[in-house]
Chain A
Amino acid sequence: MTASPIQFEEGQILAGVALGREAAMETCISVYGGLIWSIALRYADDRSQAEDVVQETFMDLWKSAGRYDAAVASEKTFVGLLARRRSIDYMRKQRRQPPSEPLMAAESLPEELPEGSGERRVEHAAVLEMLKELPEATRELFTLHFEQGLTHPEIVERTGLPLGTVKTRLRRGLIELRNRLRHLDGPHSNPLSAS
């Protein structure tokens, strides 16, 4: 495939990929390659592993782009979710203690809105607003991990916090954010339950 100018805009790319459009795939690589690469680097032990993860993620993307629904998530969210899932699975296999089956199957990717759920897609600006309600210490760690792409050991080095504290704060922060997203979407809704 030869390089071609970007002809698909964000929000249109995965639809084109699902239809097997070469230009859409090229645009997908250009637009989301950096995101996938940065997620892979965060989980992998080295760049070689990260490269494997990136290739696996894109293969997954070519196969599952048709499952993307703009009403459920932004393309960036969908791609990020896929990249994280591939990274975790890959690293688990590398450590030679694979679970008997993936904890979250590929079929559970967001696909359709459940009846009566209303809008589920959460705009990025709303997430950023929600972050302001979290404790400063949590926001700082989120920034280091999700925005700057630091691994846990790198966060320890940067902040001087014990590893256990970093892990605990990030985990609790993620659970708290999830709870707030649920509240935003309705107290009983589940973003992936339609799958």
Chain B
Amino acid sequence: MSDSSTIQRLEDLEAGRILGDLSEDEWQELEELSKKHHDALDGSLEWAAAQLEASLAGNRAAEKMPADLSGKVRAGTADFVTDSADEKVTPISAGWWKSAPAAWAVAAVLTVLLALSWLIEPETGSGFAGIDSAPDRIESPFAGVDEPYATVSGAVIWSDELQEGYMRLENMPVNDPAEKQYQLWIVDPSRDEAPVDGGVFDIAEDGTVRIPIDAKLRVDDPKAFLITLEKPGGVVKSSQDVKVALATPS
């Protein structure tokens, strides 16, 4: 069998594995072939099936789990629950920031910083237990910058040691992800003049939200956390046309 036909056969078997229709002979054949050609299977067929499932599942009425099974699943959460607060948590995903040799952020952020004289007192957080109990934990208040974000408040909580943190935000206007998304920038002059992309996020509804920070580069001495409003997906370099909120750890 040529390499080409071998790979085709391997893909055929992998598709069968994902679809759940392999015979025992085919299972053995798949295992043997996948050992010889381990680079040939990249998970893309499994991925395609998941995409298909998710897309078509929207067309059918949701099937419910049996109630007793739901109860068993709930019972299994005990070891994983770290708190039972009911604040919303918004996911954050990294934008496409890699590295830009620009000094735009420091200059612009410092300009904004000087203009601010009404920073709001921070509040005590709960949850995010690891960060909150970190010895080097810092907390700095967020203050709204441009209109209509002047009433935005909250705080940023960060640990250099853990390289983790989160934002607690209040009065953040709901955004339409198809139109605009919020993006966090972390200014750390000790590492680079350019800010670190802290991720793109959405505000889905009014109220207090907690947003985990997902800094893709190491941050050792953050001097400012700035939220901007950007196009969907975020930007590599912000023009800071809309500055939403700023926190400046001392």
CB < 8 Å: which of B30, B48, B57, B77 contacts A103? B30
CB < 8 Å: which of A4, A21, A108, A151 contacts B127? A21
Chain A contacts with B in 1-28, Cβ cutoff 8 A: 1, 3-4, 7-9, 11-12, 14-26
| A37-B27 in contact (CB<8A) | no
CB < 8 Å: which of A36, A73, A174, A182 contacts B19? A174
| A80-B30 in contact (CB<8A) | no
Size class of the B contact interface (CB-based, 8 Å): 35 or more
CB < 8 Å: which of A3, A71, A104, A175 contacts B43? A104
B93 within 8 A of A: yes
CB < 8 Å: which of B12, B42, B86 contacts A4? B86
CB < 8 Å: which of A81, A128, A170 contacts B46? A81
Most buried by A among B46, B65, B79, B92: B65
Q: Digit string of B86-129 for contact with A (CB within 8 Å is 1, else 0)? A: 10111111101010000000000000000000000000000111
Query: Number of contacts between A and B (CB, 8 Å)?
Result: 251
Contacts of A58 in B (CB 8 A): 73, 76-77
| A74-B54 in contact (CB<8A) | yes
- The prevalent SS among residues of B at the interface is mixed
Question: In the complex, which residue of chain B has the Cβ closest to the Cβ of A26?
Answer: B74
Chain A contacts with B in 97-152, Cβ cutoff 8 A: 97, 99-100, 103-104, 108, 110, 112-113, 115, 119, 122, 124-125, 127-128, 131, 142-143, 145-149, 151-152
**A34-B63, A84-B53, A174-B45 given as contacts; is B80 within 8 A of A15 (CB)?**
no
Chain B contacts with A in 1-30, Cβ cutoff 8 A: 11-12, 14-21, 24, 27, 30
Contacts of B18 in A (CB 8 A): 84, 88, 174
- The prevalent SS among residues of A at the interface is helix
Question: In the complex, which residue of chain B has the Cβ closest to the Cβ of A122?
Answer: B51
Question: In the complex, which residue of chain B has the Cβ closest to the Cβ of A104?
Answer: B43
Contacts of A87 in B (CB 8 A): 20
Q: How far is the CA of A167 from the CA of B23 in the complex (A)?
A: 11
Distance between B212 CB and nearest chain A CB, rounded to angstroms: 7
CB < 8 Å: which of A17, A29, A110, A181 contacts B48? A181
Q: How far is the CA of A96 from the CA of B55 in the complex (A)?
A: 33
How many residues in A have their beta carbons less than 8 Å from beta carbons of B?
Answer: 97
Distance between A18 CB and nearest chain B CB, rounded to angstroms: 8
Distance between A152 CB and nearest chain B CB, rounded to angstroms: 5
Contacts of B78 in A (CB 8 A): 1
Known: A35-B53, A171-B15, A174-B18. 5 other contacts (CB 8 A): A84-B49, A108-B43, A113-B94, A128-B55, A147-B60
9 interchain residue pairs of minimum CB distance = A20-B82, A15-B91, A192-B43, A81-B50, A178-B48, A171-B15, A127-B55, A124-B55, A76-B54
Residues of A within 8 A of B (CB): 1, 3-4, 7-9, 11-12, 14-26, 29, 33-39, 42-43, 51, 54-55, 58-59, 62-63, 68-71, 73-74, 76-78, 80-81, 84-85, 87-88, 91-92, 95, 97, 99-100, 103-104, 108, 110, 112-113, 115, 119, 122, 124-125, 127-128, 131, 142-143, 145-149, 151-152, 167, 170-172, 174-175, 177-178, 181-182, 190-193, 195
Q: 11 A-B contacts, Cβ less than 8 Å apart?
A: A9-B204, A17-B80, A34-B62, A70-B91, A70-B93, A74-B54, A77-B53, A84-B49, A104-B41, A128-B55, A178-B44
